[in-house]
Amino acid sequence: MPRPVGRPRITPDAVLADKAYSSRAIRRHLRRRGIRVVIPQPAD
């Protein structure tokens, strides 16, 4: 099967995000892909 045209995909080492993206599902998804999560926990 031929490869798609364009730049190869790369996986980031870490993801920096806002507190609004601090859900368990997002954190779990990133960890499963081997991406370090740098998202502050919400205060409430």
Q: What is the DSSP string of 3-28?
A: PPSSSPP---SEEE--GGG--HHHHH
Q: What is the pLDDT of residues 1-44, one digit of tens each?
A: 777 788 888 999 999 999 988 889 999 999 999 999 999 988 86
Query: Is residue 26 in a domain?
Result: yes
Domain encompassing residue 18: 11-44
Residue with tokens 């995909």, as numbered in its chain: 9
Please tell me the predicted confidence (pLDDT) of residue 11. 92
What's residue 8's pLDDT? Answer: 81
Please give the pLDDT value at position 27.
92
Look at residue 17 and tell me if it is in a domain: yes
- For residues 33 and 16, is the Cβ–Cβ distance under 8 A? no
Q: Flag whether 5 is in a domain.
A: no
Instruction: Tell me, yes or no, if the pTM score tops 0.75.
Output: no
For 9-43, give one letter per residue: b (16+ CB within 10 A) or e. Answer: eeeeeeeeeeeeeeeeeebeebeeeeeebebeeee
